[in-house]
Amino acid sequence: MVSNYTLASKFLHQMALGNINVAKLSFELEKALTPLNTNSIVEKPVFITGLARSGTTILMRSLYESNSFKSLTYSDMPFVLMPNLWKKFHVSTSGSQLQERAHKDGIMVNNESPESFEEVFWRVFYHKDYIQNNYLIKHQVSDEMIHQFRWFIKLVTKASKNEQPKRYLSKNNNNILRISAIQKAFPDAKIVIPFRNPLQHAFSLMNQHHHFIHAQTKDRFILNYMQWLGHFEFGNGHKPFLFDTKNITELKKYNKNHINYWLVIWNNYYSEILANTPKNAFLVQYEDICSEPLKIFNQLNFYLDTSIIPSENYFKPALTKNISDYDINLFHKSNEIFEQLQQKKIK
């Protein structure tokens, strides 16, 4: 979808997202010109966070299509920091044709599809606090940042087309860097964390890395686009999460084109989840939701206080790959973490 953008659209994205000062100004204009009860409360927002390729997008779309939630969508691009004003100034193309997203993974999107644009807020205002040259580090979020983030979320929920207020819905893999701040900002937040068989997950990450290297080499805009959105999961702009300095040594042992590198990525991410996951978070296994979506959603509905019947067409298990060329010690470590995650999930 990204590579199909016109020259004029690319220029608009460059101006709105690539220029930090323009992006900041758009948020200040939104705050100044959008009437908002600053004392209002965002009730029970839902934050989905997990390593890329764990099923976060499908989970988000299943919740969003219940019409109970508000989230940023492709129609909010590129001025995602002023969702109310942008809605007034541009013509909606809600009937636009579905196209396969840039990942080439069978997920179809159009202008009304929700997506993880929330990270633009953090990148624009606080990128120096967590985005380094080669890594993403844990984000120390101040009270002032939390205040601004609450304001942003209120503006997003206000931009709903309906008068009836909706709950905020987010899918942001980077929120692992600031998960305690999310809870501080919204004490009643619901946090959903999907995970997946580590070897299969690592293989999927490696494939996407190769895919985006090829795509970004052909079209520089795709690289810029992903960086503007704060997506560094794979491709030429890849920046791994760094939770501990020892992660650097582990990552440097392996080539990014090899499965072992992506097993280290998996181990680091989900070790952090085990160490710092809020006790009230909902852990869900990708394989479970593919095999028994109705059962998992019964549990999820109870946790979220919803009554969603999922589309079973969404949850199709990926083909199992035959993988043999991996470090046996990494494999054992990842399986230990995987078993601990399985023990934490709701039975």
C-alpha separations of 276 from 183, 198, 229, 273, 317 in Å:
12, 19, 25, 5, 28
What pLDDT is attached to residue 243? 93
The C-alpha atoms of residue 100 and residue 108 are separated, in whole angstroms, by: 4
Cα angle vertex 186, ends 172, 154, to 5°? 75
DSSP character at residue 98: P
Q: Where are any strands of DSSP class E within the chain? A: 46-48, 69-70, 99-100, 108-109, 136-137, 167-171, 190-195, 241-242, 282-285
What pLDDT is attached to residue 305? 94
pLDDT digits (tens, 9 = 90+) for 72-128: 999 999 999 999 999 888 765 545 676 766 666 556 767 788 888 999 999 999 999
Q: Of all helices (H) and strands (E), which one includes residue 89?
A: helix 83-89
The C-alpha atoms of residue 194 and residue 107 are separated, in whole angstroms, by: 18
What pLDDT is attached to residue 112? 80
The C-alpha atoms of residue 288 and residue 196 are separated, in whole angstroms, by: 9
Instruction: Give me the domains of the chain, ranges plus CATH numbers.
Output: 2-344 (3.40.50.300)
Where residue 1 falls among pLDDT bands split at 50, 70, 90?
Answer: very low
What pLDDT is attached to residue 152? 96
| Mean pLDDT score of the chain | 90
C-alpha separations of 67 from 3, 114, 168, 314 in Å:
30, 12, 11, 17
DSSP character at residue 131: B
pLDDT digits (tens, 9 = 90+) for 245-277: 888 999 999 999 999 999 999 999 999 999 998
DSSP character at residue 160: -
DSSP per position, 262-329:
HHHHHHHHHHHHHHH--TT-EEEEHHHHHH-HHHHHHHHHHHHT------TTT--PPPPP----S-HH
> Which residues are paired to 108 by β-bridges?
100
DSSP character at residue 34: S
Which pTM value belongs to this model? 0.93
pLDDT digits (tens, 9 = 90+) for 311-323: 767 777 777 888 8
Contacts of 286 (CB under 8 A, 6+ apart): 54, 55, 194, 195, 196, 197, 201
pLDDT digits (tens, 9 = 90+) for 125-178: 999 999 999 999 999 999 999 999 999 999 999 886 665 668 999 999 999 999
